[in-house]
Amino acid sequence: MPRIAYLNGQYVPHGDAMVHIEDRGYQFSDGVYEVTLALGGRLLDEDRHLARLGRSLAALDIAPPLGEPALKVAMRKLVALNRLPDALLYQQVTRGVAPRGHAFPKRPVRPALVMTVRRFDPAAVAARQTQGAAVVTVPDLRWRRCDIKSVSLLGNVLAKQAASAAGAQEAWMVDTVGVTEGASTTAWIVTQGGEVVSRQLSQSLLPGVTRAVIADALAPLGVRFVERPFTVAEAQAAAEAFFTSTTSFVMPVTSIDGQTVADGRPGPVTRAIQAAHWAHVRAATGRPQSPR
């Protein structure tokens, strides 16, 4: 069965889904995106993802391509058509097609909506969660509106490539204050005093959906959440470190720039947060997998 993509209202074979060469997403990165999981056919944290999509669109003055109810129907239909109960759903909205010119087109253009799905294996994530991940640090080269989930990802691409070249799984980007976030994840540490720290939201980082889910889960765990910057040195000396995202869930960090974090194994606070996140996933989607 061929993969099916959604392209401006049509459901088409993936290989036939083409966009115009003057799509402003292609020429200017003038667009935004979301990545949402479908597990057991149910969309995880859908309303949080759609709220962030709405914020990203509003920040760039791009009209929503569909009303929210119609968008939700299209998302479900695409997942069902691909017969993938566990799927990663990619959504991208660009300002649309117009003759090339930096400023917004004078004539109204229809925003372009593209959605694709691909297989997602929660059991593979659970297995990786027991291993943890190596992180390298790189300068944060990105623009100053990293709170917008823009398709302009060159800084993130270069950061992830640096991780890949170093044999690491993630790159943490560092500005003049400290770690901002991972190339495609939110960065966290656990202090020697047991506090969980992640940088406060600002225009320097993406408001992660998983970050918000974890923030809600910490108080019931009896763990204090402190939103403040931290440096690479503090992270290397921390009791634990981890990163979070829609696709990596809660991933322990075992080393930072080659320096082992604590004993190099997933720590107790990280494992408790993993378990709380899996409980959230199970409650929202009915998926049975859990890391242990």
Q: Tell me the two tokens of residue 245.
A: 């995202």
156 binds ligand PLP (CB under 6 A): yes
Please list every residue from 16 through 75 that binds ligand PLP, using CB under 6 A.
35
129 binds ligand PLP (CB under 6 A): no
Roughly what angle, to the nearest 10 degrees, separates helices 268-285 and 122-131?
A: 170
Cα–Cα distance list, 204 to 25, 29, 140, 192 (Å): 22, 18, 9, 26
User: CB of residue 146 vs ligand PLP: minimum separation in angstroms?
Assistant: 7
Catalytic residue, candidates 72, 106, 149, 160: 149
Cβ proximity of 190 and 197 under 8 Å? yes
91 binds ligand PLP (CB under 6 A): no
Query: Does the annotation count 160 as an active-site position?
Result: no
Nearest one of 45, 52, 66 to 114, comparing CA atoms: 66
User: CB of residue 28 vs ligand PLP: minimum separation in angstroms?
Assistant: 19
- List the x/- string, 170-189, binding to ligand PLP by CB under 6 A: -----------x--xxx---
Cα–Cα distance list, 171 to 158, 161, 167, 220 (Å): 9, 8, 11, 30
Quick one: DSSP state of residue 257?
T
Task: Please identify which residue in 82, 116, 198, 246 interacts with ligand PLP, judged by CB under 6 A.
Answer: 246
User: CB of residue 254 vs ligand PLP: minimum separation in angstroms?
Assistant: 20
- What is the residue type of 160? K
15, with CB counted inside 10 A (0-12, 13-18, 19+), is: exposed
- List the x/- string, 197-236, binding to ligand PLP by CB under 6 A: ---------x-xxxx-------------------------
Q: Which residues bind ligand PLP (CB under 6 A)?
A: 35, 156, 181, 184-186, 206, 208-211, 244-246
The residues that are catalytic are 149
